[in-house]
């Protein structure tokens, strides 16, 4: 809201880097603004990785408190998002270890985070399209949550939060190749889970004897991981194969929906608790 008013008045809102630089100099107001910006994203990451609102709230608080305590010592060798998600992931891993005997999650339209996905439906006034968007958003949430944790965190960081593959690799402390391998498998799994929702009209039958694994190839193409000759071969196949063309189109739509998922609204009680906790941290410094 403040950024909107500033833009309307011809004033450019401070960037994350501007706020970080000010926070490192001891500007507590700048630090507070920076933490508010990232709060919903950390909360969403916690929801997807921990599976319930209580643990996600704990992760969000612990991550932001840790950032407040260490902001002046942050040397800027990585991006702000890389630094913060590295902290958040550490707290998520602790939560998962403590909850490893918990029953498997069965999420529904009322599940944590699903309400954010359903906000996609608000973008269309058409009741039929709204219903279709609701079904797609809920199916996407379930598909992401059903992934193996190693694939889930890569897909959430890369395709939902929009980090680069090298940034994800830095957060997870693995190679970029490992990130991309997990990402390709996760994308294929999510698209497969969404197929009944995405493929409303039946696709032409595949030509099983000649159809390559176009989903993996297309995912690799998006990451710049296939050479021009292989890319040309894939494009020629897609031009001649309606089935594979439709499959790739559905993966495109899956990734588009991932990137459109709005960050969830942080509960007011949690936001107030975080605000009070950050103030205590700052008062102790």
Q: Do residues 216 and 282 share a domain?
A: no
Say if residue 244's pLDDT is above 60: yes
In total, how many domains does the chain have?
2
CATH of the domain at 215: 1.10.10.10
Which residues constitute the domain of residue 58? 1-107+265-285
In a shared domain, residues 136 and 158: yes
Whether residue 258 is found in the same domain as residue 271: no
| Tens digit of each residue's pLDDT (9 = 90 or more) over 69-109 | 998 888 777 888 999 999 999 999 888 776 543 434 433 33
The CATH number that applies at residue 63 is: 1.10.1740.10
Q: Same domain, yes or no, for 164 and 74?
A: no
Structure confidence by residue, pLDDT tens digits, 185-228: 999 999 989 888 776 556 666 555 678 888 898 899 889 888 88
In terms of domains, do 47 and 182 share one?
Answer: no
215 and 179 share one domain: yes
Same-domain pairing of 64 and 169: no
- Residue 127: pLDDT band by 50, 70, 90 thresholds? low
Residues 199, 134, single domain; the answer is yes
Token pair listed for 191: 């698209």
């Amino acid at each position: 809201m403040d950024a909107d008013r500033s833009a309307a008045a011809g004033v450019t809102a401070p960037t994350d880097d501007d706020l970080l630089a000010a926070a490192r100099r001891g500007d507590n107001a700048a630090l507070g603004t920076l933490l508010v910006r990232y709060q919903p994203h950390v909360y969403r990451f916690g929801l997807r990785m921990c599976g319930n609102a209580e643990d996600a709230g704990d992760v969000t608080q612990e991550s932001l408190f840790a950032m407040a305590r260490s902001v002046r010592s942050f040397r800027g060798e990585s991006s702000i998002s890389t630094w913060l998600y590295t902290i958040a992931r550490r707290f998520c891993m602790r939560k998962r270890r403590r909850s490893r005997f918990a029953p498997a999650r069965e999420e529904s339209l009322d599940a944590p985070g699903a309400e954010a996905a359903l906000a996609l439906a608000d973008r269309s006034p058409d009741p039929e399209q709204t219903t279709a968007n609701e079904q797609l958003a809920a199916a996407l949430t379930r598909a992401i949550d059903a992934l193996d944790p190693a694939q889930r965190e890569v897909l959430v960081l890369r395709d939902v939060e929009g980090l680069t593959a090298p940034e994800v690799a830095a957060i997870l402390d693995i190679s970029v190749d490992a990130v991309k391998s997990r990402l390709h498998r996760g994308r294929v799994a999510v698209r497969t889970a969404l197929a009944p929702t995405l493929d409303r009209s039946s696709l032409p039958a595949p030509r099983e004897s000649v159809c390559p694994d176009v989903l993996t190839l297309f995912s690799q193409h998006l990451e710049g991981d296939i050479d021009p000759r292989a890319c040309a071969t894939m494009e020629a196949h897609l031009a001649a194969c309606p089935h594979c063309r439709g499959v790739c189109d559905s993966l495109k739509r899956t990734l588009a929906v991932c990137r459109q998922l709005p960050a969830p609204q942080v509960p007011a009680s949690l936001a107030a608790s975080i605000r009070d906790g950050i103030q205590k941290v700052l008062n102790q410094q």
